[in-house]
Amino acid sequence: METSKLQRFFFKLNRFREKHLNRQQYLVILGGLVGLASGTVAVLMKNLTYFVQSLFFIESSSYYDHMYKIGLPIIGLVLVYVFKTRLIKSEIGQGISTTLYAISKRKGLFKYFQTYASLVAAPITVGFGGSAGLEAPTVVTSASLSTRFSRYLKLNQATKTLLIGCAAAGAMSSLFKAPIAAIIFAIEIFSLDLTLVSMIPLLVASVSAILTSYFFFGNDYLLQTQITDSFSFSDMPLYGILGIFTAFISIMFSRIYISIFSRFKRFSSKLNRALIGGGCLLILMLLTPQIYGEGYALINELLAGKHFTATENYAFNQFENIWTVIVFLMLLLFLKILASSITIAAGGVGGIFAPVLFIGSIAGHCFGMIINQLKILNHDIALSNYTLVGMAGLMAGVMHAPLTAIFLIAELTSGYSLFIPLMITAAISYMITQRFQKHSVYHLELAQRGDLVTHNKDQAVLTLMEIEQVIETNFCILNESMTLGEVVKEGVIKSSRNIFPVVDHQQQFKGIILLDHIRTIMFDQDMYNKVKVYDLMQSAPDVIDLSSCKMSLIMQKFQQTEAWNLPVVKEGKYVGFISKSKLLTAYRQKLIEVTV
């Protein structure tokens, strides 16, 4: 009953839109609504996490009073396991990758449980101390909500994708209060087209989300800093070296992340993954409890120049030697990479955005401290500047999002005095990292499967196309044991096509027969019982394997063979044919669909 009322409401809404709004106005309104929803999701995600953390927080400076927290990640991972296996009975997926897959292979649609699953699982993961961020779960929840609007409003795929981008922009804008960086994040990560049609809805979504954040959180910022020293030209070589340094750490992060994921996949039991992952986190937190949770508190301490207090009241007493602090922070950097990778690989729901900022802040801060200790310059450099630029370098390298990195840090610092060093470090880090790690951790798995949508419009359209929709099956199938007479009777007479697939008794594809090749003998009845299909068939120019071929490879096969029809098989068995004409027609149709 309620569903029918909702359907009638959206039907009336569509009728109103058709009469009173043009498409651009409609997209702007939808962008504002999606931004409002994304801002609300971000507020809920943060508050739920704070609530979970408050249940276990003790106001104490004693290390032993913090020891009870160390076992919490095991409980959190097990609770998430129970939630996934007993309640929703499905994998939730990893935020950004799940959203990208929905765009490329599900026509911008999410499964129903993804509307709320991350909103429950992520606060449990992070609230219980899992070393992950809330940004990716906020994005996927917001994007899933946007697709609910899309389904009710019967929007096309291009508009669905745009609203997913609006959701991502809204989520990031609300979390960081950086509306411009949020828009760039949506464009860089989700490969949206930057046009006036798409830009205005993204802008409205970002603004409505940040207003929601201001309404609930006021002027509180995740990262609290102000630039005290402006950029000096003499520092430029140092920022270039910092770009190389952050590129090295970015490559290390990506390699460790991928390696740990592959190792955890070897455990067939997901409960064992959670228990083993939780046990590993327990050991890591015994060494460095600072890796507990998102880690924004430590980032803010580094930004304030409090690197000594960043290690006090934990497993170690406060360090007094600056080189000891540097060594400890570099150890913390490495262990944070391990902890974040383990948290997600073990089944936790979270993202890498916060860990990347955490690691980048340590990298930049340690680099600055080393420069000051070695007295490379005649004056001490501002550690907060290098801490901020280090975060940009890691974001550019790990996430392959240099523009997002530059504008996020610039907006967080309420000015552009660091714009030049941000550009230098982010560009160098990105270029070096991309040379050794072609795809970011967000994109890697999809890229390996050929399901990644990129800014390359041709490649994006091919990725979005579905092979099954271009397969033709109206061909007469011939058996290799048939005679020429049977070919004429069962094939030529009955078929309107000039090509015939040949199979054996197990339906395994063997070859093809072209009508042109048998035209000279098919009317010679003396040959009907003498010639077999086996004698007439020939190999196909190439074969399309349905289980492994992607659309880009299929297009390449047509270009290389110059054929008009290629057979399709699955596990060696004949399925049908794909014709070049139908493939190109489907390509043009998809190009129209995805163009906003």
151 phi/psi in degrees, rounded to 5: -70, -45
Asked if 212 and 250 sit in the same domain, the reply is no
Which residue type does 489 have? K
Task: Please check whether residue 228 lies inside any domain of the structure.
Answer: no
For the chain, give the mean pLDDT. Answer: 82
Poorest-pLDDT segment among 72-76, 107-111, 402-406: 107-111
Residue 61: its pLDDT value, please? 44
Poorest-pLDDT segment among 43-52, 226-235, 340-349, 355-364: 226-235
Asked if 386 and 466 sit in the same domain, the reply is no
Poorest-pLDDT segment among 120-124, 261-265, 448-452: 448-452
Q: Which of 404, 419, 450 is the last residue of a domain?
A: 450
Asked if 32 and 87 sit in the same domain, the reply is yes
Asked if 305 and 418 sit in the same domain, the reply is yes
**And the tokens for 386?**
């290098």
Asked if 320 and 437 sit in the same domain, the reply is yes
The owner of tokens 């990298």 is: 363
543 phi/psi in degrees, rounded to 5: -125, 140
Task: Please check whether residue 225 lies inside any domain of the structure.
Answer: no
Task: Please check whether residue 207 lies inside any domain of the structure.
Answer: yes
Residue 149: its pLDDT value, please? 79
Residue 1: its pLDDT value, please? 43
* Cα–Cα distance, 46 to 50 (Å, whole number): 6
Whether residue 58 has pLDDT greater than 60: no
Residues in the chain: 596
* H-assigned helices in 265-401: 270-287, 296-303, 322-345, 353-374, 383-398
Which residues are within 8 A (CB) of 552 and not within 5 positions of it... i.e. 6 or more apart? 450, 459, 462, 463
* Cα–Cα distance, 61 to 47 (Å, whole number): 24
Q: What pTM was computed for the model?
A: 0.78
Average confidence (pLDDT) over 156-165: 83
Task: Please check whether residue 489 lies inside any domain of the structure.
Answer: yes
Whether residue 62 has pLDDT greater than 50: no
Asked if 440 and 517 sit in the same domain, the reply is no
Distances (CA, A) of 116 to 10, 111, 344, 406, 445: 22, 10, 18, 32, 24
Q: Which of 417, 450, 483 is the last residue of a domain?
A: 450
Q: What is the pLDDT of residues 201-244, one digit of tens each?
A: 999 999 999 998 888 877 666 676 766 666 677 778 899 999 99
Residue 464: its pLDDT value, please? 65
Whether residue 59 has pLDDT greater than 50: no
First to last CA, the chain: 35
At 535, the pLDDT band (50, 70, 90 cuts) reads: confident
302 by Cβ neighbours in 10 Å (0-12 / 13-18 / 19+) ranks as buried
Nearest to 34 by CA among 180, 186, 187, 201: 201
Asked if 172 and 242 sit in the same domain, the reply is no
At 453, the pLDDT band (50, 70, 90 cuts) reads: low
Average confidence (pLDDT) over 575-588: 82
Q: Work out whether strand 544-545 and strand 565-570 pair parallel, antiparallel, or are unpaired.
A: parallel
| Cα four-point dihedral sign 148, 152, 157, 160 | negative
* Cα–Cα distance, 147 to 155 (Å, whole number): 9
Q: Considering the chain, what percentage of its residues have pLDDT values greater than 70?
A: 85
Q: What is the pLDDT of residues 495-517, one digit of tens each?
A: 778 888 898 888 889 888 888 77
**Residue 93 zone, left/alpha/beta (φ > 0; ψ -120 to 50; rest):** left
Asked if 311 and 394 sit in the same domain, the reply is yes
Most trustworthy range by pLDDT among 1-10, 159-168, 285-294, 447-456: 159-168
Which residue type does 106 have? R
Asked if 16 and 132 sit in the same domain, the reply is yes
Average confidence (pLDDT) over 67-73: 68
Asked if 166 and 282 sit in the same domain, the reply is no
Element (H, E) at 499: strand 499-503
Task: Please check whether residue 303 lies inside any domain of the structure.
Answer: yes
Task: Please check whether residue 222 lies inside any domain of the structure.
Answer: no
Average confidence (pLDDT) over 384-388: 89
Contact 550, 534 (CB under 8 A): no
Whether residue 288 has pLDDT greater than 90: no
Element (H, E) at 500: strand 499-503
The owner of tokens 């080393």 is: 370
Q: In terms of residue numbers, what domain contains 397?
A: 233-450
Which residues are within 8 A (CB) of 318 and not within 5 positions of it... i.e. 6 or more apart? 308, 309, 311, 312
CATH number at residue 334: 1.10.3080.10
Whether residue 561 has pLDDT greater than 60: yes
Nearest to 501 by CA among 531, 525, 472, 470: 472
Q: What is the pLDDT of residues 438-447, one digit of tens each?
A: 877 776 665 5
Asked if 194 and 254 sit in the same domain, the reply is no
Residue 557: its pLDDT value, please? 85
Structural domain count of the chain? 3
Q: Which of 217, 250, 285 is the last residue of a domain?
A: 217
Task: Please check whether residue 193 lies inside any domain of the structure.
Answer: yes
Asked if 164 and 52 sit in the same domain, the reply is yes
Residue 243: its pLDDT value, please? 95
Q: Considering the chain, what percentage of its residues have pLDDT values greater than 90?
A: 22
Task: Please check whether residue 224 lies inside any domain of the structure.
Answer: no
* Cα–Cα distance, 338 to 279 (Å, whole number): 13
**And the tokens for 7?**
């359907």
Residue 60: its pLDDT value, please? 42
The owner of tokens 């994007």 is: 143
CATH number at residue 582: 3.10.580.10
DSSP-derived secondary structure for 114-140:
GGTHHHHHHHHHHHTT-S-BSHHHHHH
Whether residue 531 has pLDDT greater than 70: yes
